[in-house]
Amino acid sequence: MSERKPYPSDLSDERWALIEPVITAWKAAHPSATGHQGAYEMREIVNVILYQNRTGCQWDFLPHDLPPKGAAYYYFAAWRDGGTDQQVHDLLRWYTREQRRRLADPSLVVLDTQSKHAAAGVPAATTGKDAAKKVPGRKLGLAVDVLGLVIAAAVTAGSAHENAIGITLLNKVVEQTDTVKKALVDQGFKAAVVEHEARLGIDVEVVERNPAHKGFIPQAKRWVVERAYGILMMYRRLVREYDHRPRSSESRVYWAMTDVMTRRLTGTTALTWRDA
C-alpha cells in the first residue's frame, strides 16, 4: 500500500488478510487484455469502498490520496455484478459463526424491513412511497441469523408490500442454504409469506406485539434484526438511498457487514460518532 496517512476506515493487515484471498482469486480470473496489472492495489480499492460507506461521500468527492472514482467504481461495479461482494461477505459470516461455536449456516432467520428516504437524483422508477410509514423512497429488507449477521438483503421501491419483500428475502435464503427451517417476522408480513415459504419447507412465525405495551419493547429473538439496522446506520452511505441501482444499495449492505465482521474476527473496534 502506498504511503499515506491512514483513515479510520482503512483495513489493517489482519483484516485485509481475511479478504485478500477472494479478491486475489478474482483478480487472477479477470486478467487485463493487455496484461497490465492495474495502477492501484486491490487493498486500496477496498479501502475506498469502506471509506465511502462510512462517510457517505459522493464518488467525485473522494480524497485525492485514495484511488480515483474511475478505478474504484470499476471494481465496485464488477464485484457487485459478479457477486464477489457477497462472496467475501458470506465467507466472513461463516468464519464469524464458527468463531461463536455455531454451524456455518443457520437454522433460524429473522426478517424485517426499513423504509428510507431517497436522495435527489435517484430514479423515480426504483422508488415509491411507503403508505404505512409515509416515507418516499426505498425499503431495505434483511434476513439475519440469531447473531444479527446478514443472510440476505433486498432493496425495493418503498411502495412494495411486506409480502413481496418477505418472499424475495426467503427465496434468497433458500438459494444460499438448505439449513433454514424457521423464520420470525412481524405483523406486517401477511399470510402470503407464510403460505409461500411453507412450500419451501420453512415455518414462518408471525410474532405479534402485545397491545398492552407502549413504545418500543424488544421482542425475544426478533430484536437482533433491529440491532442489525442500528449497526448499518453507522455507515452514512446507508442512512439514505443514494445509489441509482437497488443492487448497488444491497452491495453497500454487504460491504458494511464485511467491515463489521473483519473487526469482530480480529478483535478491533470501529469509532462511533460519539468518540472524540
Helix, strand, coil: what percent of the chain each, to 5? 45, 15, 40
Amino acid at 64: H
Pairwise CA distance, residues 26 & 43, whole Å: 13
How confident is the prediction along the chain (276 residues), in pLDDT tens digits per residue? 458 899 999 999 999 999 999 999 999 999 877 666 778 999 999 999 999 999 999 999 999 999 999 999 999 999 999 999 999 999 999 999 999 999 999 999 999 999 999 998 899 999 999 988 889 999 999 999 999 999 999 999 999 988 899 999 999 999 989 999 999 988 777 777 777 777 888 888 887 665 565 655 556 678 899 999 999 999 999 999 999 999 999 999 999 999 999 999 999 876 555 554
What is the SS3 assignment for 184-223?
A: EECCCCCHHHHHHHHCCCCEEEECCCCCCCCCCCCCCCCH
SS3 43: helix
Pairwise CA distance, residues 156 & 233, whole Å: 18
CATH code of 104-244, in short, is: 3.30.420.10
Residue 193 has a CB neighbour count (10 Å cut-off) of: 25
DSSP bridge pairs for 185: 206
233 DSSP 8-state letter? T
